[in-house]
């Protein structure tokens, strides 16, 4: 009987994942990652749910304290990105370094043949694909996971809709019912409210500065550059503006932000580095997502010296350095890279 380690968060998706795999005849064990140094009962409450589920299923579970790695690889990167004026994507880092890095190592150490999670995505061991439930699809966030990890990954949610998983859970047992009726977890696990609440624990984000136009003229004021991301159109003042202005770039060095009218945010080419490619081709046509929940933008990609040069067929707006460019052939993820530069 093959062993599967299931990453269990105490939420409904991973709890149903464990049930499904047990039913399919695998030897199942669960692992809960303590990602944060929280002392407010957060871990205890999650672990209680996991205890109930694993008791019900008659399986073992482990708790792995990984808070130091998480702080270094994910949390610090998140805060530093805002300090540097870029827009981070912590879930992408977490999936690569923590869930399919450290948690996969743990699964292998425990002689598991696979690591399963409740992510909404598909994999055939060679590639990652969009999930059946497009509204929940997480393939974008998984696209930096190393190619070597793919043969170990299992996503039992791949063909289900979230609502079906909730219904299934509610029918299974009271233990599951309680979990299904919990609030859905927030988008970023360590951001309870808005990102600025996290960043302000580490820096003074409220230092007002100048708003500049594209020629460098002072045209208004803002409340601190870390309050803004590329494409944002509110929260700053432009003297005498008739038309809406959008944030075009952030300059942490002199605490200025550059704004422009919508057309000036038009981008036709994008550069990305730290590539993670699942194919070997260095010149290809594909669809690209330049942020989560964007539609696929047709483009041509040329990779030179480990940098992807992305030429968009049609312009895109509000593309932010620090976000991930994910390359797709229809539903198949063929690689991704971190956006460093954009131009018209
Ligand atoms: N602290 C954790 N420990 C172990 N595995 C985790 C943890 N957090 C998330 N995972 C795994 O990663 C998957 C995706 O996490 P994410 O936070 O995106 O999901 P979710 O929709 O909240 O899932 P769930 O309903 O299982 O909580 C989870 O389903 C679970 O398998």
265-284 tens-digit pLDDT: 999 999 999 999 999 999 99
Whole-number pLDDT of residue 6: 98
Name every residue whose Cβ is closer than 8 Å to that of residue 107 and which is 6 or more positions away in sequence.
5, 31, 114, 115, 152
pLDDT band of 185, cuts 50, 70, 90? confident
Residue 285: inside a domain, yes or no? Answer: yes
pLDDT of residue 240: 81
Please tell me the predicted confidence (pLDDT) of residue 38.
83
Q: Is 71 part of any domain?
A: yes
On whether the CB atoms of residues 106 and 31 are closer than 8 A, the answer is yes
For the stretch 211-263, pLDDT in tens is: 999 999 999 999 999 999 999 998 898 888 778 899 999 999 999 999 999 99
Q: Which of 8, 14, 69, 123 to mutate to test the pocket of ligand 1 (most atoms within 8 A of CB)?
A: 14
Q: Are residues 99 and 16 in the same domain?
A: yes
- Over its C-alpha atoms, the chain yields an Rg (Å, rounded) of 22
The CATH code of the domain that includes 214 is 2.30.30.280
For ligand 1, atom 29, which residue shows the shortest CA distance?
Answer: 118
- Distance between CA 207 and CA 213 in Å, rounded? 19
Say how far apart CA 36 and CA 55 lie, in whole Å.
25
Binding residue ranges for ATP: 7-14, 33, 118
- 140 CB near ligand 1 (under 6 Å): no
What are the pLDDT digits (tens) for 57-110?
999 999 999 999 999 999 999 999 999 999 999 999 999 999 999 999 999 999
In this predicted structure, the answer to whether residue 326 has a pLDDT above a threshold of 80 is: yes
pLDDT-based confidence at residue 1 (cuts at 50, 70, 90)? confident
Distance CA 231, CA 319 (A): 7
Q: Which of 5, 7, 42, 184 is the pocket-test mutation for ligand 1 (most atoms within 8 Å of CB)?
A: 7
HSE, CB side, 13 Å, CA atoms: give it for residue 247.
28
Distance from CA of residue 80 to its chain's centroid? 17
Q: Are residues 114 and 223 in the same domain?
A: no
Q: What is 100-140 written as a DSSP string?
A: IIIHHHHHHHTT-SEEE---S-EE-SS-EE--SSTTT--HH
Q: Which of 133, 148, 180 is the last residue of a domain?
A: 180
Q: Does 191 fall in a domain?
A: no
Backbone angles phi, psi at 307, to 5 degrees: -120, 130
**Does the annotation mark 91 as catalytic?**
no
Q: What is the pLDDT of residue 318?
A: 86
Q: At what angle do helices 12-23 and 42-57 cross, to 10 degrees?
A: 20
Total tally of structural domains belonging to the chain: 3
Together in a domain, 314 and 219: no
Regarding whether 339 and 215 lie in a shared domain, the answer is: no
Residues 225 and 320 in one domain: no
Work out the mean pLDDT of the chain and round it to a whole number.
95
Atom of ligand 1 nearest to the CA of 116: 31
Name the closest-CA residue to atom 23, ligand 1: 13
Report whether residue 30 contacts ligand 1, using a CB cutoff of 6 Å. Answer: no
Mean per-residue pLDDT for 155-177?
A: 93
Q: How far is CA 59 from CA 4, 55, 63, 110, 176, in A?
A: 11, 7, 14, 14, 15
Q: Does 7 sit in the ligand 1 pocket, CB within 6 Å?
A: yes
* CATH number of the domain enclosing 122: 3.40.50.620
Q: Is residue 26 located within the same domain as residue 153?
A: yes
Same domain, 243 and 282: no
Question: Buried (b) or exposed (e) across 141-162, using 16+ Cβ within 10 A?
Answer: bbbbbeeebbebbbbbbbebbb
Q: Is the ipTM of this complex over 0.90?
A: yes
Who contacts 183 (Cβ-Cβ below 8 Å, separation ≥6)? none
Q: What is the 98 CA–ligand 1 centroid distance (Å)? A: 12
**31 and 145 co-located in one domain:** yes
Domain that holds residue 316: 266-343
| Cβ(117) – ligand 1 distance below 6 Å | yes
- pLDDT in the model for residue 243: 83
* Among candidate residues 213, 244, 260, the one where a domain is terminated: 260
- Residue 21 reports pLDDT greater than 90: yes
Q: Which helix (H) or strand (E) holds 232?
A: none
Q: Does the residue 190 lie in any domain? A: no
Domain membership of residue 196 (yes or no) is no
C-beta 35 within 6 A of ligand 1? yes
pLDDT class of 198 with cuts at 50, 70, 90: very high
pLDDT at 182: 82
């Amino acid at each position: 009987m093959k062993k599967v380690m299931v990453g269990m968060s105490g939420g409904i998706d991973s709890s149903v994942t464990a049930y499904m795999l047990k039913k399919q005849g695998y030897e199942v064990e669960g692992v809960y990652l303590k990602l944060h140094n929280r002392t407010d009962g957060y871990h205890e409450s999650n672990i209680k749910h996991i205890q109930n589920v694993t008791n019900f299923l008659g399986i073992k579970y482990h708790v792995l304290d990984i808070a130091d790695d998480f702080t270094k690889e994910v949390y610090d990167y998140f805060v530093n990105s805002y300090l540097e004026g870029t827009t981070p994507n912590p879930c992408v880092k977490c999936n690569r370094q923590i869930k399919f890095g450290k948690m996969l190592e743990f699964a292998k150490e425990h002689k598991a043949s696979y690591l399963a999670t409740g992510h909404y995505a598909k994999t055939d061991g060679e590639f990652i694909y969009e999930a059946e439930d497009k509204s929940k699809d997480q393939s974008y966030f998984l696209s930096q996971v190393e190619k070597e990890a793919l043969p170990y990954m299992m996503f039992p949610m791949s063909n289900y809709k979230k609502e079906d998983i909730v219904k299934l859970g509610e029918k299974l047992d009271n233990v599951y019912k309680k979990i299904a009726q919990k609030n859905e977890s927030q988008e970023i696990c360590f951001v309870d409210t808005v990102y600025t609440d996290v960043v302000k624990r580490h820096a003074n984000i409220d230092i007002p500065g100048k708003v500049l136009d594209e020629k460098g003229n002072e045209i208004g004021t803002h409340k601190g550059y870390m309050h803004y991301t590329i494409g944002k159109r509110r929260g700053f003042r432009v003297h005498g503006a008739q038309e809406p202005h959008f944030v075009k770039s952030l300059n942490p060095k002199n605490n200025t932000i550059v704004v422009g009218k919508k057309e000036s945010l038009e981008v036709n080419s994008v550069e990305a580095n730290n590539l993670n490619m699942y194919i070997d081709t260095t010149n290809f046509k594909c669809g690209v997502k330049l942020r989560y929940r964007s539609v696929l933008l047709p483009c041509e990609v040329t990779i030179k010296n480990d940098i992807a040069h992305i030429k968009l067929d049609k312009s895109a707006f509000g593309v932010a350095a620090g976000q991930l460019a994910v390359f797709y052939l229809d539903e198949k993820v063929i690689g991704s890279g971190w956006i460093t530069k954009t131009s018209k």
